[in-house]
Amino acid sequence: FSQEVCDPNIGGRIIMCPQCDKVCTYWNLSITCESSKKLCIFDSFGTLVFAVFMGIWVTFFLEFWKRRQAELEYEWDTVEYLEQEEQVRPEYEARCTHVVKNEITQQEEHVPYTACGKCVRMTFCTSAIFFWILLIIASVVGIIVYRLSVFLVFSAKLSQHISGTETLRKYLTPQTATSVTASLISLVVIMILNVIYEKVAIMITDFELPRTQTDYENSLTTKMFLFQFVNYYSSCFYIAFFKGRFVGHPGNPVYWLGKYRNEECDPGGCLLELTTQLAIIVGGKAIWNNIQEVLLPLVKNLIGRRSAAARSEKVVPRWEHDYHLQPIGKLGLFYEYLEMVIQFGFVTLFVASFPLAPLLALINNMLEIRLDAWKLTTQFRRMVPQKAQDIGAWQPILQGIAILAVATNAMIIAFTSDMIPRLVYYWSFSVPPYGSHSSHTMKGYINSTLSVFNISDFKNASKPFSPLLGSQTTCRQVSNKHLYRDLRYPPGHQQQYEHNIYYWHVIAAKLAFIIVMEHVIYFVKFIISYAIPDVSQKTKSKVKREKYLTQKLLHENNLKGVKKNMGEVAAKIIKGAESTFRAKAE
């Protein structure tokens, strides 16, 4: 694959069509040599094996977490923790002005709203959530428009302003510059929107008015995760599944808003660009969060100490010094959970395109454990423990991510990587009746996956300013699906520029691969979930032993009470009988 691209007799002789209108020029396929070599690192059979492994590993992770959670429930005595034991939030209790009849106790109780009022609140909250999610999508669309517009500028100006070596020209291409700058802008937008949507989610949840703190945290968890999911992952989903899919062909390109030509993938492919996007977002998010967690409480405490020292000249006792530390807040460890779940999504959802994500997550977590320990023991007040039966809404969220990860990784391998087209060519189109080789081979793969376009078929709106050098009258089109793939009939064919039979074979193979991979992994996940019980036998025995001892103690206490009562009754009867006989005898 990369050998043919880098070969001066193959890739060096293939002239590719411009990737934008007018200002873009014809380019040589061999300039993508370096990016194709990088692509081979991620776009390989090992990536498929690793994606399958991660799909199964996440099931083991969740199942063993359930067992650990059951052990903690027993140790911390929350096995039979009921919602009725939890205190009602003061905010809820202060708004209880309506009287309704409890269906269970058949007694009157006060609630803050009627059934109709609750329906109105839920409708308003749901509408507000969808509205803010659409705003997030609008920001992603804005970044896409930036990509489309700035690519034209880089294509026209970048090569003129680079006065470095040939190596710099090779790496700093218009596609690379557009991708990196767009990823950095996306990271900044994500961080800004996080601050805004955190406040929005709290406002919506406060208006919803949950009854207990557990209900409040579960409701806030769902909203915050929806916002964060769309905010962090939408740009990655766009690059993985939408970018470069609907570009048409050079004679009939597809335009956004009737103005911007739909962008094609980087010469290294959309998979390489997705890897770049994930590396910048994951790395930037980890660095920013760690800096924020360290600096914010440290600076606030320094300011508080200086202001307190200025007001008082006497020596401050330790307990008062600790009181001036930062409060942990009513949400407690909510943001730590949220950070870990978002990281869990990056590790599982896109592992097929970024296999280094688990390693980076491990390094970040090892560092963050120590930072959190320092922060909680030196910068915050001591937390007040609260009883909870489990991790609440985070559990179904993690399970949902694990299920979605199988589908996303299967689709990344099928539609974003080049694995399936290579397999189809190797097994079907390299040998007769479609190929000319006598045995299965990858020779000629590049040539077979590039379509031919006659430059005389350019429209005036998209015809490049710079002419094609020499007497050559055709160029090759960059892929609809990946860098070198646009499987169309050549000019002069009765179905010219329509998708050829190779295209439909590849589509069928991709769909078959997705179905097979998903069903196999889901079946294995089901077997693992069934084989590993949620509660270990040791914990079950402890719970049963505790119930047995409780019942035995209650039974013995009841027997003692019966014996005591029966003894008192018998003594009274005997005493009464003796007095009766004594009276008769007298």
Cβ(265)–Cβ(223) below 8 Å = no
Of these ranges, 179-188, 245-254, 566-575, the one predicted with the greatest mean pLDDT is 179-188
Specify the pLDDT at position 566.
67
Of 535, 399, 540, residue with least CA distance to 68:
535
- Please, which pLDDT band fits residue 343 given cuts at 50, 70 and 90? very high
397 is written with which tokens?
A: 């969220």
279 is written with which tokens?
A: 């590396």
The residue-averaged pLDDT of 161-173 equals 56
CA angle 259, 265, 268 (to 5 degrees): 150
Question: Residue 161 above 60 pLDDT?
Answer: no
- Please, which pLDDT band fits residue 480 given cuts at 50, 70 and 90? very low
Question: Residue 538 above 60 pLDDT?
Answer: yes
pLDDT (tens digit per residue) in 384-436: 887 777 888 899 999 999 999 999 999 999 888 888 888 888 888 888 887 77
Three-state secondary structure call for residue 101: strand
Of 402, 560, 486, 484, residue with least CA distance to 62:
402
Q: How far is CA 478 from CA 210, 252, 423, in A?
A: 54, 14, 20
DSSP H or E run through 579: helix 537-585
Choose between 397 and 581: higher pLDDT. 397
Q: How many CA atoms lie within 13 A of 193 on its CB side?
A: 24
CA dist 361 and 39 (Å) reads 22
Specify the pLDDT at position 61.
93
DSSP string, 155-189: HHHHHHH--S-HHHHHHS-HHHHHHHHHHHHHHHH
Those residues with Cβ within 8 angstroms of residue 355's Cβ, 6 or more apart along the chain or in another chain: 42, 47, 50
Cβ(73)–Cβ(448) below 8 Å = no
Question: Residue 525 above 90 pLDDT?
Answer: yes
Torsion angle, alpha carbons of 491, 495, 498, 499, to 10: -110
Choose between 375 and 248: higher pLDDT. 375
Question: Residue 498 above 60 pLDDT?
Answer: yes
Contacts of residues 419-425 at CB distance under 8 Å and 24 or more positions apart, as own/partner, are 419/43, 419/44, 419/45, 419/47, 419/48, 420/506, 420/509, 420/510, 420/513, 421/449, 421/481, 421/482, 421/485, 421/506, 422/1, 423/509, 424/502, 424/505, 424/506, 424/509, 425/449, 425/502
Question: Residue 344 above 70 pLDDT?
Answer: yes
Specify the pLDDT at position 366.
92
Question: Residue 56 above 90 pLDDT?
Answer: yes
- Please, which pLDDT band fits residue 550 given cuts at 50, 70 and 90? confident
Q: What is the pTM of this model?
A: 0.83
Cβ(454)–Cβ(15) below 8 Å = no
- Please, which pLDDT band fits residue 481 given cuts at 50, 70 and 90? very low
Specify the pLDDT at position 521.
94
CA dist 138 and 134 (Å) reads 6
Of 540, 456, 532, 526, residue with least CA distance to 491:
456
- Please, which pLDDT band fits residue 470 given cuts at 50, 70 and 90? low
Query: So where are the chain's domains?
Result: 1-423+511-531, 537-572
Specify the pLDDT at position 526.
93
Axis crossing angle, helix 334-349 with helix 213-241, rounded to the nearest 10: 30
Question: Residue 513 above 90 pLDDT?
Answer: yes
Cβ(210)–Cβ(330) below 8 Å = no
CA dist 27 and 18 (Å) reads 7
The residue-averaged pLDDT of 83-104 equals 75
Does the N-terminal peptide bond of residue 433 adopt cis geometry, omega within 30 degrees of 0? yes
Cβ(489)–Cβ(275) below 8 Å = no
pLDDT (tens digit per residue) in 2-13: 777 788 887 777
Choose between 267 and 507: higher pLDDT. 507
The residue-averaged pLDDT of 288-316 equals 77
Specify the pLDDT at position 483.
34
Those residues with Cβ within 8 angstroms of residue 338's Cβ, 6 or more apart along the chain or in another chain: 221, 224, 225, 228
pLDDT (tens digit per residue) in 208-267: 888 888 888 889 999 999 999 999 999 899 888 888 777 777 778 888 777 777 777 765
Those residues with Cβ within 8 angstroms of residue 232's Cβ, 6 or more apart along the chain or in another chain: 190, 281, 285, 342, 345, 346
The residue-averaged pLDDT of 273-300 equals 86
Residues in the chain, how many? 586
The residue-averaged pLDDT of 520-533 equals 93
pLDDT (tens digit per residue) in 106-144: 777 777 777 787 888 888 888 988 998 898 889 888 888
193 is written with which tokens?
A: 């929107």
Using CB atoms within 10 Å of the CB of residue 23, give its burial: 0 to 12 exposed, 13 to 18 middle, 19+ buried.
Answer: middle
Specify the pLDDT at position 89.
83
Cβ(539)–Cβ(70) below 8 Å = yes
